[in-house]
């Protein structure tokens, strides 16, 4: 990056997790739905239809703004942003302009072990547009359709100040923003499904503290592409500057396949959106009561939680990071600790066995049948050595599949005797009787004979006994017998 | 059915005949359909006559059991301005761009009409997208004035006003943005109400200027207008601008004896040089009679009246330019053939689909909202609007009702003003300020000039429709003018 100062600001759009769209009652669960099946006169902009604000949108946006330490504006005014495009049914988008939900916030995140603070310029809401679907190839046969299922889905837009200084920072900041909106349950933050989208502004300059010519990069739909697109821009702009040519102020698209940014079709004039207050929606005042209520509903922020996990549970930074990044996982972990207070053991199981299973199945912990209580019970059995680690893993998988508790599974699989020492004693005695030679060898000091007897018992129990318990019982019985 | 016999009938009279069995909703509907058939070739008040469905609905009502409490509009045919959405029934806004548009839903007012037992008789002509003061801007030809077919019916609810005046229908709905109910009502000698902004849901009214548009009843007398208003008013969850206020009830109308206590304000600025003398004479004569009758008349001032019209022609087109952006040939309505690319689709569709006046206002509005001009125009317009509203607030501290002319002149000739938009705009000079202020205002016939009607405007403070109707009903009875019965059109000319 050869000496140039990089300045980056990002704009993040998140679909808010509401059941209904922003200004009508149509559903928002559009993934996999027939195009235009989730529409009504309002979100299609049919003449005569009028928007009515879904109150939940306001609550979620306020939650996000408060969590980002924004100043909340006392009055909500919706503006119309006018422009022509087929994905925009009304010919304008209902958005917020000079009265956003919140301004002057802060986001804290970690990069390279250091805490960074980035200023948030504004948090506002707007409705999403529809989606263009292009079919066919070539100029002559190409057809374009519009799917308005997404039109009217509420978005919260979070705009940072240009405080980011590298593509890596931008990526980390974006990841933290996603974690935060997920924590607040404001959005599912899913980039692949388009419910979290990011645009970035980037400029390079020679002089510290000064910004160069700003380029806007759009169409980045993963953390990786944000990072790579910005990296590409740093190199592209550096080489332009090195050769003493001017960087052009423009909007560029990230081409995921070719790994390059390309200039969007040039606009001859600056766009004029002709913002004005939407006369179909009256301004609203934000009451103190509502703010108090929403403040009370705020959850602990991820960075704070991470520190707490490290301090209270003695987890490593890495362990805590993995846990808190996925709020559901962290919640599962803490819930489990309520029944079984051994953070280290629980953490190990969550980060190895459970994560492995979830990854293999492509599941989220809260979608699985496994409950924290079930894991706590399993770990208790393991700790009391009633089952072996191998069996515990086996039982865990069964719990995921069936949702049954560990004891139930152990009973069903016929592992029940293992928890019953009397039963184990019986088998142990049987094996002692069947293998007099080995007993004699053991008693004469041959340690290997003991292992052989353990193996025999294990075999007799079809491997389902706890080796620890087998060893204890065997040693005791041999002693008693001898 | 003999129309002459029914010319002074009110809703209550039709209901009396229904109850006595002398008339059925079917017979009444058939009679009005006949009347439309005989007269509308000449008038062009209707864009669509909903004949089959109206007869079917009416015959269903024929079999209803008739007790004392009939729904308020039971069996009464109503015409609806063609910018109000009717499910499955074309709603054209008088434009080519929506010529084939059949809304997938009903406007709230249409549902409320049905709930009250009314029969939707048809859709009436209007200036395209309700922009105009003469119904000459309709893509489907002008509506003629029943009192003189060479003259305009007024606009933009010209079709609704003419249909009621010609007794093609006893009641109609119009919409009023700057005077579009009251001005044609005045030109056609009928009663037209612009309610307080927010009293009738706009859901399903195709927007012209959202902050000004209001649906309003048009009737042959004040009582019928009040009954129609009662059926339409009240909060609607589908319209955020609809006031959270209980629906109007006719019981709010004060009895005649208390009406004499009202203080009448007469705004000085409404009687200046723009007012044509014959109209001024009729109005002044009426005011004199009220004075002699013992009413307290008080001259008041609405100092920002001069600026109201200019501000209106900033604010309304600005909103219109945005509201009409959706007509781009993508989702519904007219689409130009043989276009190349997206920009061409928008440009050709809109160039071919919109009429001249609509285009003029879109351009005006786009300009005044554009960056660099917003503060100078739109924002200033809104500031003036606030000043106009304050004028009225102050006036209503001193008096209960304001009386003024509705229009500066009598109905003008077709073609006379269409060449000069500014002259056309001036016909709304007395109706625009109250629309900008969002107050309640009614037009009532108060006399004739050479056989052409002259309207009196009665205005009250917001949500005081009770007083408005009370005073207007008293005034109507006091003036005791014959119910409009223009006979100079259609086959009747032969008589």
Q: How many angstroms separate the CA of residue A281 from the nearest CA in chain B?
A: 6
Judged by a CB distance cut-off of 8 A, whether residue B165 touches chain A is no
Inter-chain residue contact B204 with A49, CB threshold 8 Å = yes
> Which residues on A lie below 8 Å from B91 (Cβ)?
47-48
The tokens describing B366, both together, are 């786009």
Distant-in-sequence, close-in-space partners of B102: CB < 8 Å, separation ≥ 6 = B88, B89, B90, B91
Size of the A and B interface in Cβ pairs below 8 Å: 104
Q: What is the pLDDT of residue B326?
A: 97
Banded model confidence at residue B493, pLDDT cuts 50, 70, 90: very low
Q: What is the pLDDT of residue A270?
A: 60
Which residue reads 């705004």 in tokens?
A: B267
* Residues, chain B: 495
At B91-127, the pLDDT tens digits run 999 999 999 999 999 999 999 999 999 999 999 999 9
Looking at the predicted structure, is the pLDDT value of residue A240 above 70?
A: yes
Spatial contact of A12 and A158, defined as CB atoms under 8 Å apart? yes
Q: In what order do the strands lie in the sheet with B440-449?
A: B46-49, B119-124, B77-81, B171-176, B214-219, B191-194, B440-449, B452-460, B401-405, B263-267, B296-300
Nearest alpha carbon to residue B261 among B399, B466, B128? B399
Distant-in-sequence, close-in-space partners of B387: CB < 8 Å, separation ≥ 6 = B304, B307
Instruction: Give the C-alpha separation, B85 to A48, whole Å.
Output: 7
Banded model confidence at residue A33, pLDDT cuts 50, 70, 90: very high
At B173-209, the pLDDT tens digits run 999 999 999 999 999 999 999 999 999 999 999 999 9
Instruction: Give the C-alpha separation, A199 to A226, whole Å.
Output: 8
A 10 A CB-CB count for A416 gives 13
Judged by a CB distance cut-off of 8 A, whether residue B244 touches chain A is no
Looking at the predicted structure, is the pLDDT value of residue A416 above 70?
A: no
At B37-60, the pLDDT tens digits run 999 999 999 999 999 999 999 999
Inter-chain residue contact A274 with B369, CB threshold 8 Å = yes
Inter-chain residue contact B209 with A274, CB threshold 8 Å = no
Instruction: Give the C-alpha separation, A162 to A178, whole Å.
Output: 18
Spatial contact of B164 and B172, defined as CB atoms under 8 Å apart? yes
> Which residues on A lie below 8 Å from B331 (Cβ)?
44-46, 89, 146
Where are the extended beta strands (E) located within A169-290?
Answer: 196-205, 215-220, 250-255, 260-263, 276-277, 284-285
Single out the catalytic residue among B153, B180, B404, B434. B180
Q: Note if B273 is an active site residue.
A: no
At B221-248, the pLDDT tens digits run 999 999 999 999 999 999 999 999 999 9
Of B241, B326, B371, Cβ closest to residue A282:
B241
Q: How many angstroms separate the CA of residue B206 from the nearest CA in chain A?
A: 4
Single out the catalytic residue among B26, B134, B156, B472. B156
> Which residues on B lie below 8 Å from A45 (Cβ)?
326, 331
Instruction: Give the C-alpha separation, B54 to B77, whole Å.
Output: 8
Q: What is the pLDDT of residue A75?
A: 95
Q: How many angstroms separate the CA of residue A45 from the nearest CA in chain B?
A: 7
Looking at the predicted structure, is the pLDDT value of residue B303 above 80?
A: yes
Inter-chain residue contact B369 with A86, CB threshold 8 Å = no
Inter-chain residue contact B104 with A89, CB threshold 8 Å = no
E strand or H helix at B193: strand B191-194
Banded model confidence at residue B374, pLDDT cuts 50, 70, 90: very high
Q: What is the mean pLDDT of residues A68-87?
A: 96
Instruction: Give the C-alpha separation, A449 to A428, whole Å.
Output: 14
Q: What is the mean pLDDT of residues A2-19?
A: 93
Helix, strand, or coil (residue A158): strand
Q: What is the pLDDT of residue B491?
A: 45
Nearest alpha carbon to residue B355 among B135, B101, B122, B178? B135
Judged by a CB distance cut-off of 8 A, whether residue B330 touches chain A is yes
Percent of chain A predicted with pLDDT > 90: 68
- Rg over CA atoms, chain A: 30
**DSSP notation for A323-376:** HHHSHHHHHHHHHHHHH---HHHHHHHIIIIIHHHHHHHT--GGGSS--HHHHH
> Which residues on A lie below 8 Å from B318 (Cβ)?
276
Q: How far is CA A353 from CA A171, A360, A375, A390, in A?
A: 29, 11, 11, 11
E strand or H helix at A411: helix A406-412
Q: How far is CA B307 from CA B152, B429, B462, B488, in A?
A: 27, 10, 21, 39
Q: What is the pLDDT of residue B163?
A: 97
Q: What is the mean pLDDT of residues A373-398?
A: 87
Looking at the predicted structure, is the pLDDT value of residue A310 above 70?
A: yes
Of A48, A92, A278, Cβ closest to residue B205:
A48
Of B98, B238, B330, Cβ closest to residue A47:
B98
At A175-187, the pLDDT tens digits run 999 999 999 999 9
Instruction: Give the C-alpha separation, B365 to A348, whole Å.
Output: 66
Looking at the predicted structure, is the pLDDT value of residue B492 above 70?
A: no
Q: How many angstroms separate the CA of residue B285 from the nearest CA in chain A?
A: 41
Q: Chain A neighbours among B 83-102 (CB < 8 Å)?
A: 83-85, 91, 93, 98, 101
Which residue reads 């928008």 in tokens?
A: B346
At B402-426, the pLDDT tens digits run 999 999 999 999 999 998 999 999 9
Q: What is the mean pLDDT of residues A269-287?
A: 90
Instruction: Give the C-alpha separation, A289 to A310, whole Å.
Output: 35
Spatial contact of A253 and A262, defined as CB atoms under 8 Å apart? yes
Inter-chain residue contact A280 with B203, CB threshold 8 Å = no
Looking at the predicted structure, is the pLDDT value of residue A1 above 60?
A: no
> Which residues on A lie below 8 Å from B206 (Cβ)?
47-48
Judged by a CB distance cut-off of 8 A, whether residue B366 touches chain A is yes
Q: Note if B249 is an active site residue.
A: no
Q: What is the pLDDT of residue B299?
A: 97
Chain mean pLDDT for chain A: 90
Distant-in-sequence, close-in-space partners of B256: CB < 8 Å, separation ≥ 6 = B470, B473, B474, B477
- Rg over CA atoms, chain B: 21
Which residue reads 């319209």 in tokens?
A: B239
Banded model confidence at residue A418, pLDDT cuts 50, 70, 90: low
Nearest alpha carbon to residue B465 among B432, B434, B441? B441
A145 forms beta bridges with: A133
Looking at the predicted structure, is the pLDDT value of residue A482 above 60?
A: no
Where are the extended beta strands (E) located within B221-377?
Answer: 263-267, 296-300
Inter-chain residue contact A48 with B325, CB threshold 8 Å = no
Spatial contact of A247 and A237, defined as CB atoms under 8 Å apart? yes
CA B247 to chain centre: 20
> Which residues on B lie below 8 Å from A275 (Cβ)?
369, 374
Instruction: Give the C-alpha separation, A274 to B366, whole Å.
Output: 8
Of B204, B319, B322, Cβ closest to residue A48:
B204
> Which residues on A lie below 8 Å from B126 (Cβ)?
none
Residue of B326, B341, B344, B353 to mutate, testing the A interface (most A Cβ within 10 Å of its Cβ): B326
Instruction: Give the C-alpha separation, B445 to B427, whole Å.
Output: 17
């Amino acid at each position: 990056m050869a000496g140039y100062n990089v300045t980056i600001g990002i704009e993040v759009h998140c679909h808010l997790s509401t059941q209904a769209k922003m200004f009508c009652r149509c559903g928002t669960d559009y993934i996999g739905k027939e195009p235009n099946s989730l529409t009504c006169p309002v979100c299609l902009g049919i003449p005569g239809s009028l928007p009515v604000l879904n109150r939940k949108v306001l609550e979620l946006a306020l939650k996000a703004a408060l969590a980002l330490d924004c100043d909340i504006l006392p009055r909500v005014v919706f503006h119309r942003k006018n422009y022509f495009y087929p994905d925009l049914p009304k010919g304008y988008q209902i958005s917020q302009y000079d009265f956003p939900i919140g301004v002057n916030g802060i986001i804290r995140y970690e990069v390279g072990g250091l805490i960074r603070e980035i200023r948030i310029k504004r948090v506002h809401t707007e409705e999403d547009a529809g989606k263009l679907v292009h079919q066919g190839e070539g100029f002559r046969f190409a057809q374009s359709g519009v799917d308005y299922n997404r039109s009217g889905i509420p978005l919260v837009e979070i705009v940072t100040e240009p405080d980011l200084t590298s593509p890596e920072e931008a990526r980390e900041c974006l990841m933290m923003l996603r974690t935060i909106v997920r924590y607040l349950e404001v959005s599912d933050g899913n980039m692949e499904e388009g419910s979290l989208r990011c645009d970035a502004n980037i400029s390079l300059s020679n002089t510290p503290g000064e910004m160069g010519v700003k380029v806007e990069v759009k169409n980045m739909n993963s953390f990786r592409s944000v990072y790579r697109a910005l990296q590409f821009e740093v190199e592209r702009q550096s080489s332009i500057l090195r050769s003493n040519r001017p960087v052009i102020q423009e909007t560029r698209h990230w081409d995921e396949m070719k790994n390059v940014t390309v200039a969007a079709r040039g606009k001859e004039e600056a766009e004029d959106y002709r913002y004005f207050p939407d006369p179909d929606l009256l301004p609203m005042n934000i009451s103190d009561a509502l703010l108090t209520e929403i403040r009370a509903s705020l959850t602990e922020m991820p960075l704070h939680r991470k520190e707490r996990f490290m301090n209270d549970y003695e987890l490593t930074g890495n362990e805590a990071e993995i846990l808190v990044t996925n709020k559901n996982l962290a919640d599962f972990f803490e819930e489990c600790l309520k029944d079984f207070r051994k953070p280290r053991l629980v953490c190990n199981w969550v980060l190895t066995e459970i994560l492995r299973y979830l990854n293999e199945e492509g599941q989220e912990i809260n979608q699985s049948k496994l409950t924290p209580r079930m894991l706590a019970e399993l770990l208790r059995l393991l700790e009391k050595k009633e089952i072996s680690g191998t069996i515990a893993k086996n039982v865990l998988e069964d719990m995921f599949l069936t949702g049954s508790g560990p004891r139930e599974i152990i009973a069903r699989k016929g592992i029940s005797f293992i928890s019953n020492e009397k039963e184990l004693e019986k088998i142990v005695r049987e094996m002692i009787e069947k293998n007099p030679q080995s007993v004699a060898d053991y008693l004469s000091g041959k340690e290997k004979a003991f292992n052989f007897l353990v193996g025999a018992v294990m075999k007799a129990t079809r491997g389902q006994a706890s080796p620890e318990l087998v060893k204890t019982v065997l040693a005791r019985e041999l002693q008693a017998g001898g | 059915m003999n129309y002459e016999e029914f010319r002074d009938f009110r809703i209550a009279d039709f209901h009396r005949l229904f109850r006595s069995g002398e008339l059925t909703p079917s017979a009444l509907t058939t009679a009005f359909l006949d009347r439309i058939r005989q007269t509308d070739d000449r008038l062009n008040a209707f864009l669509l006559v909903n004949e089959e469905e109206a007869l079917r609905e009416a015959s269903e009502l024929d079999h209803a059991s008739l007790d004392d409490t009939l729904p308020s509009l039971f069996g009464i045919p109503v015409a609806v301005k063609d910018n109000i959405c009717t499910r499955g029934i074309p709603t054209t806004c008088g434009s080519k761009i929506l010529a084939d548009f059949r809304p997938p839903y009903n406007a709230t007012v249409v549902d409320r009409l049905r709930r009250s037992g009314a029969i939707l008789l048809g859709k009436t002509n209007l200036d395209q997208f309700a922009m105009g003061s003469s119904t000459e801007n309709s893509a489907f030809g002008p509506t003629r004035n029943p009192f003189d077919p060479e003259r305009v019916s007024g606009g933009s609810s010209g079709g609704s006003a003419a249909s009621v005046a010609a007794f093609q229908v006893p009641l109609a709905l119009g919409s009023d943005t700057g005077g579009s109910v009251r001005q044609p009502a005045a030109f056609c000698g009928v009663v037209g109400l612009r309610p307080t902004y927010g009293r009738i849901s706009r859901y399903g009214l195709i927007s012209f200027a959202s902050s000004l548009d209001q649906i309003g009843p048009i009737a042959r007398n004040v009582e019928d207008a009040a009954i129609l208003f009662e059926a339409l008013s009240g909060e609607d969850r589908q319209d955020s601008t609809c006031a959270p206020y209980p629906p109007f009830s006719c019981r709010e109308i004060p009895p005649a004896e208390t009406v004499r206590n009202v203080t009448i304000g007469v705004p000085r600025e409404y009687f200046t040089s723009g007012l044509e003398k014959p109209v001024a004479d009729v109005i002044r004569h009426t005011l004199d009679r009220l004075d002699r009758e013992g009413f307290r008349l008080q001259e008041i001032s609405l100092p920002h009246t001069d600026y109201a019209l200019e501000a209106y022609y900033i604010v309304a087109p600005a909103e219109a330019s945005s509201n009409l952006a959706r007509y781009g040939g993508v989702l519904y309505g007219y689409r130009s053939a043989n276009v190349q690319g997206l920009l061409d689709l928008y440009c050709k569709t809109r160039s071919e689909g919109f009429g001249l006046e609509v285009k003029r206002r879109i351009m005006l509005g786009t300009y005044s909202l554009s960056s660099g001009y917003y503060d100078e125009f739109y924002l200033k317009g809104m500031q003036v609007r606030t000043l106009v509203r304050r004028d009225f607030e102050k006036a209503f501290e001193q008096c209960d009702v304001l009386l003024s002319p509705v229009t500066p002149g009598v109905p003008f000739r077709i073609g006379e003003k269409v060449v000069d938009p500014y002259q056309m705009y001036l016909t709304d000079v007395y109706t625009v300020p109250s629309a900008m202020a969002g107050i309640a205002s009614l037009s009532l016939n108060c006399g004739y000039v050479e056989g052409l009607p002259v309207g009196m405007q009665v205005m009250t403070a917001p949500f005081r429709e009770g007083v408005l109707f009370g005073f207007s009903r008293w005034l109507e009875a006091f003036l005791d003018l014959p119910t409009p019965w223009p006979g100079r059109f259609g086959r009747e000319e032969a008589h």
